[in-house]
Structure 1
Amino acid sequence: MKQAKLESTRHRVQRYRTTPDLIADELREEIRRGVLAGGQPLPQEELANRFGVSRIPVREALLRLEGEGLVAVYPNRGAVVTRFTADEVREIYHLRRLLEGDALARAVRRMTDADLKRIELTMDRAERGAIDSDRGDPDWAELDGAFHAALYEPAGHPRQSAMIAALRGTVDRYWTAYEALPAHTEAWLDDHRRIVAACRARDAEMARLVLHEHLARAGAIVLAGLKAEEAPDGAA
């Protein structure tokens, strides 16, 4: 089974856009799913053997992930999956509130009925994904991300949206690792509904306020999980 999976991965390398694209996508997904944990080494030689390539595309893929904040590359030490401190998580969520609150307020003022229908469809998909999921898995996180992206798209600021997506990508993995969704599902979905209701009412400030509350709750959950992860066994 392991050999078959390896051959499948190598076949995908051969037909992908570019080899570094595939390697970066595979590693990004494994980080997001918690398969590769914070602090885990990423030896270039092992990755090159795994993907059936030289170390050059592996190095390029790791540098891309470093640019996204998912990997740290150290001279003479190699690469490791990024592990955030509590202060770094607080900073990420502070930036998310600033950027996403601004994007949403701008978007609300420009939303058409077609935009609202599209947003409601993505909200419904995210809701079904959350309810059907036994835990906050990456599939749900992806649907939730699509909902937020749909909210901000009418703002017409693609660079800002890209920055938001990058910040979100750095912390999505903690939802998977901590299996955080079940205890918070109803509050989470209620936030989504309140945001959409404010959008329908064209109330930009209310939409921003609810979003800030939503992101503050998300940050607190991630920080709680991070604290439990760092605690000695049995101390959490």
Structure 2
Amino acid sequence: METTRTAGRTGRNIAEQLRADILQGLLAPGERIGQEVLAERFDASRIPVREGLKILEAEGLVTIVPNSGAWVARLDAFEFDQIYKLREQVESLVLRESIDGLTPSQIDRLQRLADDITKASDAETFMRLDQDFHLSTYAGASFPLLHDLVHRCWNSTVHYRRIFAQELQREQQWATDAEHHLIVDSIVRKDHETAGNLIRAHIRRTRLKLAARPDIFQRSHDPEG
């Protein structure tokens, strides 16, 4: 018989693997998540499946509709706008707080990452390096709650960032590359204010670029709409 502890552990494992599928783009925005299929895939009962989905719902990756089912979170224009505006403020704060805590070796690695991003040949490589770069710039901040918030925002915006990265493959990405190098330069100079302003503008530019593409958003809030 399945215990509460076992169900909780299995639920976390289900959440971990589904999270990876969503972040890697294996499950698309708005795609239905069949609980029966998950139960069979993980050889589990419905209880840990529901627990795993609830974890992902709390992270903004999954939408659960009572008596209907679960879906990968849709691309929603309002939520996109709110999350990106939140990122502009929070990540500016975290970066300013991080600068004094970064070691010389961490800063050297940031420079290498900025250089590597300029050579990214596909969207997935760009996304991986870009996320590594930005989260590494925040590594010197001693604010666990803010780090948790930043990670949640990055996870919940993965589909938007993938669209942005795919668009970059068809256009010059010189502005993005230049901004990354300017951020590193401000970190080297320990210019907290400039660094904060740069990351705020960097995120804002992405927000405005994607907001100008209303075709990417799934209009209905009803997963079956």
Tell me the TM-score range normalised by the shorter chain.
Answer: 0.7 to 0.9
Question: CA RMSD, aligned part only?
Answer: 2.4
1:39 counterpart letter in structure 2: G
1:99 counterpart letter in structure 2: V
Gaps of 5+ in 2: 1-8, 220-225
SS at 2:67's partner residue? coil
Say which structure is richer in helix: 1
Cα distance per residue 1:176-217 (max 9 Å; x no partner) = 356233225322111110000111111111111111111011
Does the 8 A contact of 1:180 with 1:221 survive in 2?
A: no
Aligned to 2:48: 57
SS at 2:139's partner residue? helix
Matched, 1:210 2:198: yes
Structure 2 Cα separation of the partners of residues 54 and 85 of structure 1: 31
State the identity as a percent. 33
Matched, 1:154 2:140: yes
Structure 1 Cα separation of the partners of residues 160 and 106 of structure 2: 30
Does the 8 A contact of 2:92 with 2:200 survive in 1?
A: yes
Aligned to 1:171: 157
Aligned to 2:181: 193
Aligned to 1:118: 109
Aligned to 2:216: 229
Does the 8 A contact of 2:88 with 2:201 survive in 1?
A: no
Cα distance per residue 1:19-50 (max 9 Å; x no partner) = 33442233223322333222222121122123
What is the TM-score with the length of structure 1 in the denominator? 0.79
Does the 8 A contact of 1:198 with 1:207 survive in 2?
A: yes
Gaps of 5+ in 1: 1-17
Aligned to 2:89: 98
Aligned to 1:6: none
Cα distance per residue 1:83-106 (max 9 Å; x no partner) = 142121111011101110001111
Q: How many residues align?
A: 210
Structure 2 Cα separation of the partners of residues 209 and 93 of structure 1: 15
